[in-house]
Amino acid sequence: MDLTKLSKDDKVKELINAVKSKNSLRNNFYVGPTGFSDKELKDFFDKVYDKIDYLTDSPTFMFTEVVNNSVVQKTVATMTIQHQTFEDLIDHLLNDKEIEACITYFYDIIKVNNGSINFRFANVFDEQRRIRHERDRKIEIVLDIINKPR
């Protein structure tokens, strides 16, 4: 599902609904809590929503792109990062340089038995996004120099 054109509130709602949907299925197979409260999810996604571009319902999916004027399909698998707290996970997502040049697909977030948080997602490199990010970074540097008090 494409989240790029949704408002912040709609995007956060879709992300929360995706997690809750997976949790309702997961509860049939796992012992112990694997989910988060609506408030925890809202607080989390309110901070990282702009880093997530798409939802995927599958841990592996097909991605289509144009390479040298040819349409190419490739299989993309999600990866899992684990952090002990939401704050650590948020810090990782907000400061990860790789994410800035990628299209990010969100798959799932779960609480594991040791209390840590598993965040499953996939990054697909996007050259145009990398170029835009680099341009914006250079503009910020120039504006900082111009606006610097003398």
Could you read off the pLDDT of 57-115 as tens digits, one per residue?
889 988 888 778 888 888 999 999 999 999 999 999 998 888 888 888 999 998 887 88
What do you get for the CA distance between the two ends of the chain, in Å?
49
Give the span between the Cα atoms of 72 and 31, in whole angstroms.
41
Task: Give percent of the chain with pLDDT exceeding 70.
Answer: 93
SS3 at position 143: helix
pLDDT bracket for residue 24 (50, 70, 90):
low
Model-level pTM? Answer: 0.76
What ranges do the domains of the chain cover?
8-147
Tell me what percent of the chain is helix, strand and coil, each rounded to the nearest 5.
45, 30, 25
SS3 at position 84: coil
